[in-house]
Amino acid sequence: MITLTSENWKSKGKMYNNIKFELTGVYKTIGGYNTRKAIAKMEDGKTFEVFYAPDLVPANTEYDATFSNLPGLAIEYEIESGNTKFTYSLVKIDYDPVPVSLFDFPASGYRKMTYEENQNLKKGN
């Protein structure tokens, strides 16, 4: 389990800070939601497509730095990591209340480390 502070969360998403979305005239129904296609353009020149539902606007736009500037909820998008492409698609939205207990940290069964410790492991330190 990796714990993150608010600053860690911002650092983790900094590569998306200046992402721009070019809204297109392409529409598609995904999982019963009317979506619109946007082309995400990152500062490093990389692009990816995202279909979003303009009728579904998250109350917390900071839930994911990637989509904080998107004028709706991301429903489907494809990203590349190395030579592998991943497609993420929303399956359903559940409007039932989320039990508070789901946000409790587990007491055992996990190695616990800070975000900084995890970053050092990735660097081989």
Q: Which positions ≥6 away from 9 have C-beta within 8 Å?
A: 62, 65
- The domains of the chain are located at 2-91+99-122
pLDDT of residue 63: 80
In angstroms, the CA 42 to CA 28 distance is: 23
Phi/psi-derived region of residue 31, left when phi > 0, alpha when psi is between -120 and 50, beta in every other case: left
Calculate Rg over the CA atoms of the chain. 17
Residue 42 has pLDDT above 70, yes or no: yes
pLDDT of residue 125: 60
Percent of the chain with pLDDT strictly greater than 90:
39
In angstroms, the CA 30 to CA 22 distance is: 20
